[in-house]
A and B are shown apart, each in its own frame.
Chain A
Amino acid sequence: MKYKTLNEVRLPELGEGIEKATLAAWFFKEGDTVKDGDDLAEFVTDKASFVVSCNADGILAKILFKEGENVAVGAVLAIIEPSKN
């Protein structure tokens, strides 16, 4: 049996004292094909908007937050199922 590696995409540390950011928009939906480096989601904190990029080529298998939600830094945002294993 062959197992697939799943890539987690996380909200990175955004700076000292920033614990959360609001999810403003997803640029893809579940099932879409994505490429490493594509814009995946946009977050907003106080006076800054921050784009999280995809970290692998593959299929966006799972999205874990909704637009408008407050997300803690370090949280897993999405799972990408890589096209090559």
Chain B
Amino acid sequence: MNTTSLKIQDLGLINYQETWALQKETVAAVLEGAPLTVLLCEHPLVLTLGRLAKEEYILVDENELQKRKADVVKIDRGGEVTLHAPGQLVIYPIVDLNQYGRDLKAYLENLEHVIIDLLADFGILATSIEGRRGVWVKERKIASIGIGVRKWVSFHGLAINVNTDLREFQMIKPCGLDVHMTSIQEILGYPVDLKEVKNKFIQHFEKIFL
């Protein structure tokens, strides 16, 4: 689509709040002309609530959250309740949408497309579903998506369940829907090296965005 360079930062396992601060800094940098930046990471267990999220979509009480050491964070992205946990690859592309036609829907679809291509490399047939964002394998959701846009620079992004402990999702009603989550590990029957998923992501992201 465009000729531009790409900066990749692999943050490893990192606190949600730390990446939030880093995202803000990166948005400011991209507004000043820094290249498209992709932050890759995993988060310790955390529940994030989008702008329209209802707290009743968290299905466990305060005590249970504390026992599981789960933080709850309200954030400025679209979408409902999302859960992050180790084994899930979280990706924050900081993209100047001024260079990509200022189209939120097209951008979200492109992100879904990248994940579908990535999963195909693992022999997994995934699809997007009209009217439902995210990436799906049959009736199960494998990747969630949600962005924030300020001055046409997009932040937040996507979360792919690679080796995530899917039992954690019993704590929430993802996206306010009765959705079953799945993971690459669940589908293949064995865990996958996160590094490999990261490399595949970058490869397919570059194909669509550079």
Measured CB to CB, the residues of A under 8 A from B are 12-18, 22, 24-25, 37, 39, 42, 44-51, 53
Distance of A15 Cα from B9 Cα, bound (Å) = 29
Distance of A50 Cα from B152 Cα, bound (Å) = 8
CB B48 to nearest CB in A, in angstroms, measures 12
Q: Which 7 A-B pairs have the closest CB atoms?
A: A15-B103, A15-B105, A51-B150, A47-B133, A48-B78, A15-B104, A47-B78
Does B50 belong to the interface (CB within 8 Å)?
Answer: yes
CB A33 to nearest CB in B, in angstroms, measures 20
Per DSSP, chain A at the interface is: strand
- The tally of CB-CB contacts under 8 A between chains A and B is 70
A51 closest partner in B (C-beta)? B150
Does B41 belong to the interface (CB within 8 Å)?
Answer: no
Q: Take A47-B133, A51-B150 as given contacts and tell me if A18 and B102 are in contact as well, using a CB distance cutoff of 8 Å.
A: no
Per DSSP, chain B at the interface is: mixed
The interface centre, meaning the residue of A47, A51, A53 with most chain B CB atoms within 10 A of its CB, is A47
Whether A48 contacts B108 by the Cβ 8 Å rule is yes
Q: 1/0 per position for B142-156, CB-CB distance to A under 8 A?
A: 000111111100000
With an 8 Å Cβ cutoff, the count of chain B residues facing the other chain is 22
Please, which residues of chain A bring their CB within 8 A of the CB of B79?
47
Whether A49 contacts B50 by the Cβ 8 Å rule is yes
Q: A15-B107, A16-B105 are in contact. List 5 more A-B contacts (CB 8 A).
A: A15-B106, A45-B78, A46-B105, A49-B78, A53-B150
Does B76 belong to the interface (CB within 8 Å)?
Answer: yes
Does B51 belong to the interface (CB within 8 Å)?
Answer: yes
Q: Take A47-B78, A47-B147, A48-B146 as given contacts and tell me if A42 and B51 are in contact as well, using a CB distance cutoff of 8 Å.
A: yes
8 contacts between A and B (CB under 8 A): A14-B103, A15-B105, A15-B106, A15-B107, A44-B78, A48-B104, A49-B78, A49-B147
Q: Take A39-B150, A42-B76, A44-B78 as given contacts and tell me if A49 and B51 are in contact as well, using a CB distance cutoff of 8 Å.
A: yes
Distance of A58 Cα from B58 Cα, bound (Å) = 42
Whether A44 contacts B103 by the Cβ 8 Å rule is no
Distance of A37 Cα from B68 Cα, bound (Å) = 41
Distance of A39 Cα from B31 Cα, bound (Å) = 14
- List CB contacts (< 8 Å) of B73-128 with chain A: 76-79, 102-108
CB B30 to nearest CB in A, in angstroms, measures 15
Please, which residues of chain A bring their CB within 8 A of the CB of B50?
44, 49
Q: Take A42-B51, A46-B78, A46-B133 as given contacts and tell me if A51 and B106 are in contact as well, using a CB distance cutoff of 8 Å.
A: no
